């Protein structure tokens, strides 16, 4: 019962922290679409927060390169669990067109467990909302947190 | 004054103290987010959203940063929660039973109101994070900026009522004559107290200490999980408490000697006040800390001193 309350509350109130791991910046701009009147994800309780301490979802954008990898790992360690990780955009999922770059450190899920993949370069708002739905579905399927 | 210990606990913990204030405070934050969303042509969150947020935070881990004194860091939010509960209890109980006020309850309310910025400063300084420390220093400057006008605004109504110091007496004076808001000096005092409350709540244009976009939450940056939940709850309760503070001292409280509809309408007064707060919040950009200091010490302080002089000459 208590577990159910905890999980239900988490699924209805996902606070998002946006980890900018050397993207081309387009993904970051697109995230803000979700807060506009047309898409308004605050309907579902999503908020963008300013500190990883407050976050439930880490939205990682961009190619994880060797320099930024350490920071991503540290932000992940500093985020209170339970938390989800979303690989946002083709860069974070696979490296996209930077895959042959000399400082590419591999896709994000090589380093931290990724729960949701949101594809696109940059992803469309519809794809992002689908990602949110996937995240909530995944939370609801989990036995324990 | 004859209150048994049981009743005191009931007042403090259930109604109108901790439980009632926290539920209404959380509903107020919903009104805040919903009105904000409607102003921006959005739909906004569902009614229970603040409760989801609160219970979610209760279920998460709490980090204590390395080098932070654990008891101070985690104890500060609890002190804040307790003091806000006491403020709202004192204000609402003196509204229900004005005769039962104790001498100096006005001073107690003012002292406990000071606790809210102080626990934010203490918690932020204890978190050993430089950005939190920046938030703490801003909170301190902001507190110095708005406290003097707020005291002058209260002095105005005390002078106006002929030197009454108990909340219950001030209420009864308003019921016998007219709410302070409906006189020249009282209206001026209300405006300056209103601006001070906006700053105390840390809302735009005075959200300098928390500024999400520049210092990532400032004073509350390092808090997570249940500790953050307690801080958020404190803020929500402070929201409600600030609106009843303004209602009780300037607008004649909820209850009036005339019963019937007037009685119910009285409960809409704090809602009207917070809608005004939300409108100001949504139509203004954030000030810098030096601008806020200048604003309070020149404009608002002058305003409240003018109100005080008007009250002294009997307007
Ligand atoms: S996925 Fe595309 S839009 Fe997003 S950061 Fe990479 S290159 Fe830029």
ipTM: 0.85
Whole-angstrom distance, CA of residue B119 vs CA of residue B246: 22
Whether residue A92 is predicted with pLDDT greater than 60 in this model: the reply is yes
Helices (H) and strands (E) in chain A, counts: 5, 5
Measured between beta carbons, the chain A residues lying within 8 angstroms of B54 are 9
Residue A1: predicted pLDDT:
62
Of ligand 1's listed atoms, the one at least distance from the Cα of A26 is 3
Whether residue A36 is predicted with pLDDT greater than 70 in this model: the reply is yes
Contact by Cβ (8 Å): B305, B296: no
CB contact under 8 A, B42 and A37: yes
Best mutation target among B33, B44, B45 (most A Cβ atoms within 10 Å) is B45
Q: Which of A20, A22, A23 to mutate to test the pocket of ligand 1 (most atoms within 8 A of CB)?
A: A23
Is position A144 within any domain? no
Query: Atom 6 of ligand 1 has which residue's CA nearest to it?
Result: A91
The reply to whether ligand 1 has any atom less than 6 angstroms from the CB of A99 is no
Residue A144: predicted pLDDT:
62
Band of residue A78 on the pLDDT scale cut at 50, 70, 90:
confident
Rounded mean pLDDT of chain B? 83
Residue B261: predicted pLDDT:
58
Whole-angstrom distance, CA of residue B150 vs CA of residue B189: 8
- What string of DSSP letters covers A65-77? BHHHHHHHHHHHH
Is position A136 within any domain? no
Residues A84, A89, A91, A94: is their CA dihedral positive or negative?
positive
Whole-angstrom distance, CA of residue B122 vs CA of residue B142: 15
Is position A142 within any domain? no
Q: Which of A29, A86, A91 to mutate to test the pocket of ligand 1 (most atoms within 8 A of CB)?
A: A91
The reply to whether ligand 1 has any atom less than 6 angstroms from the CB of A22 is no
Nearest by CB to B60, which of A43, A45, A82? A82
Question: Would you write out chain B's pLDDT as a tens digit for each of its 315 residues?
Answer: 456 777 777 777 777 778 888 898 899 889 888 988 888 888 888 888 898 888 888 888 888 888 878 888 888 889 989 899 888 888 888 877 777 767 778 888 888 888 888 888 888 888 888 888 888 888 888 888 888 899 988 888 888 888 788 888 888 888 777 788 888 888 888 999 999 888 888 877 877 767 667 777 777 888 888 888 998 899 899 988 998 888 888 887 776 555 555 567 777 888 888 888 888 888 888 888 888 889 888 898 999 899 888 888 877
CATH number for the domain including A45? Answer: 3.40.50.12280
DSSP conformation class of A80: P
Nearest by CB to B52, which of A45, A49, A82? A45
Per residue in A104-136, pLDDT tens? 888 888 888 898 898 888 888 888 888 888 888
Residue B105: predicted pLDDT:
82
- Give me the residue label for tokens 């009780």: B248
Measured between beta carbons, the chain B residues lying within 8 angstroms of A78 are 63
Per residue in B288-314, pLDDT tens? 888 888 988 889 899 989 988 888 887
For the stretch B224-227, contacts whose Cβ atoms lie closer than 8 Å and that sit 24 or more positions apart, written own/partner, are B224/A53, B224/A54, B224/A80, B224/B60, B224/B61, B224/B62, B224/B63, B225/A80, B225/B57, B225/B58, B225/B59, B225/B60, B225/B61, B225/B62, B225/B63, B226/B57, B226/B58, B226/B60, B226/B62, B227/B62, B227/B73, B227/B74, B227/B77
- Ramachandran category for residue A40: left, alpha or beta (phi over 0 → left; psi -120 to 50 → alpha): left
Whole-angstrom distance, CA of residue A113 vs CA of residue A136: 17
Distance A98 CA to ligand 1 centre (A): 10
Is position A6 within any domain? no
> Which chain B residue shows the shortest CA-CA distance from A46?
B45
> Which chain A residue shows the shortest CA-CA distance from B132?
A51
Domain residue spans of chain B:
5-313
Is position A118 within any domain? yes
Residue B254: predicted pLDDT:
75
Whole-angstrom distance, CA of residue B213 vs CA of residue B204: 12
Distance A31 CA to ligand 1 centre (A): 12
- Ramachandran category for residue A89: left, alpha or beta (phi over 0 → left; psi -120 to 50 → alpha): left
Residue B260: predicted pLDDT:
55
Max intra-chain CA distance, chain A: 51
Residue B206: predicted pLDDT:
79
Nearest by CB to B43, which of A12, A43, A54? A43
Is position A2 within any domain? no
CB contact under 8 A, B63 and A78: yes
Those of residues 62-81 in B touching chain A at CB distance below 8 A are: 62-63
- Ramachandran category for residue A55: left, alpha or beta (phi over 0 → left; psi -120 to 50 → alpha): beta
Full-model pTM? 0.88
CB contact under 8 A, B44 and A9: no
The reply to whether ligand 1 has any atom less than 6 angstroms from the CB of A91 is yes
Measured between beta carbons, the chain B residues lying within 8 angstroms of A45 are 45-46, 49, 52-53
**Helices A2-12 and A125-141, interaxial angle, to 10°?**
180
Whole-angstrom distance, CA of residue B56 vs CA of residue A63: 31
Nearest by CB to A13, which of B49, B216, B228? B49
Q: Which domain holds residue A88?
A: 13-131
Assigned token pair, B161: 């009522």
Of ligand 1's listed atoms, the one at least distance from the Cα of A121 is 2
Q: How many domains does chain A have?
A: 1
């Amino acid at each position: 019962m208590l577990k159910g309350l905890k999980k239900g509350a988490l699924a209805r109130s996902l606070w998002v922290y946006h980890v900018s791991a050397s993207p081309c910046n387009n993904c970051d701009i697109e995230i803000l679409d979700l807060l506009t009147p047309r898409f308004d994800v605050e309907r579902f309780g999503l908020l963008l927060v300013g500190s990883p301490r407050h976050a439930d979802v880490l939205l990682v954008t961009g190619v994880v390169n060797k320099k930024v990898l350490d920071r991503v790992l540290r932000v992940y360690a500093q985020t209170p669990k339970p938390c989800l990780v979303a690989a946002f955009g083709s860069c974070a999922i696979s490296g996209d067109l930077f895959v042959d770059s000399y400082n590419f450190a591999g896709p994000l899920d090589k380093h931290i467990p990724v729960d949701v993949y949101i594809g696109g370069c940059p992803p469309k708002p519809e794809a992002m909302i689908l990602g949110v739905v996937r995240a909530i579905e995944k939370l609801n399927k989990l036995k324990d947190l | 004054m004859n209150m048994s210990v049981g009743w005191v606990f009931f007042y403090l913990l259930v109604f109108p103290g901790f439980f009632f204030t926290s539920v209404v405070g959380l509903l107020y934050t919903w009104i805040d987010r919903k009105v904000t969303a409607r102003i921006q042509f959005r739909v906004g969150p569902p009614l229970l959203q603040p409760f989801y947020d609160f219970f979610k935070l209760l279920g998460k881990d709490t980090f204590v940063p390395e080098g932070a004194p654990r008891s101070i860091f985690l104890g500060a939010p609890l002190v804040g929660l307790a003091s806000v509960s006491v403020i709202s209890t004192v204000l609402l109980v003196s509204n229900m039973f004005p005769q039962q006020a104790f001498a100096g309850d006005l001073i107690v309310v003012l002292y406990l109101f000071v606790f809210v910025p102080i626990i934010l400063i203490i918690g932020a300084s204890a978190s050993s994070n430089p950005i939190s420390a920046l938030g703490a220093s801003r909170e301190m400057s902001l507190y110095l900026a708005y406290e003097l006008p707020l005291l002058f605004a209260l002095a105005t109504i005390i002078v106006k009522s002929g030197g009454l110091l108990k909340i219950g007496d001030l209420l009864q004076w308003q019921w016998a004559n007219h709410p302070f808001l409906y006189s020249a000096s009282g209206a001026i005092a209300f405006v300056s107290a209103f601006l001070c409350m906006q700053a105390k709540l840390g809302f735009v244009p005075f959200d300098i200490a928390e500024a999400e976009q520049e210092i990532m939450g400032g004073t509350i940056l390092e808090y997570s999980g249940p500790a953050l939940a307690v801080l958020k709850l404190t803020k929500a309760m402070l929201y409600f408490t600030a609106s009843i503070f303004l209602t009780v001292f300037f607008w004649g409280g909820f209850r009036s000697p005339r019963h019937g509809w007037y009685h119910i309408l009285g409960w809409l007064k704090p809602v009207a006040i917070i809608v005004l707060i939300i409108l100001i919040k949504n139509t203004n950009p954030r000030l810098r800390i030096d601008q806020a200091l200048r604003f309070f010490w020149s404009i608002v302080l002058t305003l409240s001193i003018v109100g005080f002089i008007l009250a002294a000459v009997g307007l």
